[in-house]
Amino acid sequence: MNPEQLLQLQTQGGIFIFKIGFLIILGMVGLFLFVIRNQIRSMNTIVTQPDMFPYLEAFVYFLFICVIALFIVTAVIL
């Protein structure tokens, strides 16, 4: 194995580790969003402010979709 091949292998290995780590972090962000959604629902039960609640929940779902999209893009591109 010549130095160029070794460098290429190292780069590919580095990207693979980065990809796995990044996907794990994205999963954690998704979990965090799930917690936020539950907390919003819970807080809205404690003090009901119906005007804003749908927007807040919709924004959480929007972020959740972003996380899923990023997850897919990361898995495909990298």
Closest-CA residue to 65 (of 23, 25, 18, 29): 29
Judged by CB under 8 A, does residue 5 bind other proteins? no
Q: Select the residue interacting with other proteins from 20, 43, 58, 68 (CB under 8 A).
A: 43
Q: Least distance in Å: CB of 49 to other proteins?
A: 6
The residues near 60 (Cβ < 8 Å, ≥ 6 apart) are: 33, 36, 37, 40
**Residue choice 20, 35, 58, 68 for contact with other proteins (CB under 8 A):** 35
How would you classify residue 36: left for phi > 0, otherwise alpha for psi between -120 and 50, otherwise beta? alpha
At closest approach, how far in Å is the CB of 3 from other proteins? 20
Residue keyed to tokens 């039960």: 45
Does residue 63 belong to the site contacting other proteins (CB under 8 A)? yes
Binding of residue 37 to other proteins (CB under 8 A)? no
